[in-house]
């Protein structure tokens, strides 16, 4: 791979161990808030309409890492930037996708099913995809050593445990969960967004210094992710609402999880932090713009099959 003249691994973001711990708390709260809205009956989507769920999982867990690999081969970025792209592609969907899917006129039930399914799969899928595709690129080194089990345990703490706690609260105390779910989810997402924006503000000068090396790369990668979802849905001819949801679920990766994993395992690989840090901000912006566009366009029907 072609190394850039500047050593991106010398980039050091202002993100301490206290920040890592605080981010873990924020992520756990967000996932718990999302899970407060989940019930076992919500998973009937997987039984009633397994085709769209399976296609969505293929798009996000299988096809996105493949198209990311192809983009890396095409643009040949600095190795640490490539690793950041792989990590983003390997992470599960973000909790924001459920709101975006609903706002865009997509299938909200499918979105919940896909977010939950990719979250549950992420304990194994994320470390596997990262290890496999980074080795395929030949960019792993001593500085990028991956402990599969440690990464799986962190993902378990961030996603699986809060999800089950939220669902348990909903099942055991349904009235309480219903009262706090909407407020809790809005407040938790607001706290999370404030944290991400604050972290970006603290590192504004560093982002500006290296902007040339990662800005267009993140834009291209996010576009590839959205196109991967849309084309997968088109090829398999899913209904229009499902197409919107699969596009959004594939395009919105859990950037905050990739940020946390980067600072937990790859703090010496500066390029990774630049990629995942900017992704965590940009994919929220791009998905909101796409949702606004789709919200103004009703889902059309053609030959008994909806299209976006």
Confidence band for 147, pLDDT divided at 50, 70 and 90: low
Structurally, the chain folds into a number of domains equal to 1
- Is 193 contained in some domain? yes
pLDDT for 42 equals 62
- Is 162 contained in some domain? yes
How many other CB atoms are found less than 10 A from the CB of residue 108?
18
User: Pick the residue with more confidence: 157 or 6?
Assistant: 157
- Is 302 contained in some domain? no
- What's 158's domain CATH number? 1.20.1530.20
What angle separates helix 240-251 from helix 211-235, to the nearest 10 degrees? 150
**Phi/psi at 301 (nearest 5 deg)?**
-115, 135
pLDDT for 243 equals 92
Range of the domain at 168: 14-293
DSSP 272-286: HHHHHHHHHHHHHHH
- Is 46 contained in some domain? yes
With CA atoms as reference, report the closest residue to 275 among 77, 65, 138.
77
- Is 160 contained in some domain? yes
- Is 146 contained in some domain? yes
Three-state DSSP state, 299 = coil
- Is 305 contained in some domain? no
Percent of the chain with pLDDT over 90: 19
Please report where in the chains the tokens 């997402």 appear, as a residue. 189
Lowest-confidence region among 148-157, 175-184, 213-222: 148-157
- Is 120 contained in some domain? yes
- DSSP state letter for 305: E
Average pLDDT value over all residues in the chain: 79
Percent of the chain with pLDDT over 70: 81
Confidence band for 43, pLDDT divided at 50, 70 and 90: low
Maximum CA extent, the chain: 59
Q: What is the pLDDT of residues 245-275, one digit of tens each?
A: 999 999 988 777 787 787 777 766 667 888 8
């Amino acid at each position: 791979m072609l190394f850039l003249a500047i050593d991106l691994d010398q980039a050091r973001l202002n993100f301490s161990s206290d920040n890592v711990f605080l981010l873990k708390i924020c992520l756990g709260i967000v996932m718990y808030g999302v899970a407060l809205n989940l019930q076992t009956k919500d998973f009937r989507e997987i039984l009633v309409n397994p085709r769209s769920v399976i296609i969505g999982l293929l798009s996000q867990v299988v096809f996105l890492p493949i198209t990311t690999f192809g983009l890396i081969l095409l643009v040949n970025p600095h190795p640490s930037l490539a690793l950041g792209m792989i990590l983003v592609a390997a992470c599960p969907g973000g909790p924001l996708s459920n709101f975006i899917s609903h706002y865009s006129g997509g299938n909200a039930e499918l979105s919940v099913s896909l977010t939950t399914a990719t979250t549950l799969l992420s304990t194994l899928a994320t470390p596997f995809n990262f290890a496999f595709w980074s080795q395929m690129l030949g960019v792993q080194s001593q500085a990028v050593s991956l402990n599969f089990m440690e990464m799986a345990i962190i993902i378990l703490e961030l996603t699986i445990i809060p999800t089950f706690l939220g669902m348990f609260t909903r099942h055991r105390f349904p009235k309480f969960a219903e009262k706090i779910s909407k407020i809790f989810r809005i407040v938790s997402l607001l706290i999370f967004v404030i944290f991400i924006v604050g972290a970006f503000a603290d590192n504004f000068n560093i982002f500006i210094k290296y902007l040339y090396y990662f800005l267009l790369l993140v834009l291209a990668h996010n576009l590839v992710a959205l196109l991967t979802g849309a084309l997968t849905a088109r090829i398999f001819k899913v209904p229009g609402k499902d197409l919107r949801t699969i596009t959004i679920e594939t395009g919105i990766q859990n950037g905050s999880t990739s940020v946390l994993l980067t600072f937990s395992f790859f703090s010496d690989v500066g390029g990774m932090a630049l990629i995942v840090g900017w992704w965590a901000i940009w994919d929220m912006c791009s998905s909101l713009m796409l949702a606004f566009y789709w919200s103004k366009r009703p889902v059309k029907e053609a030959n008994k099959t909806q299209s976006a």
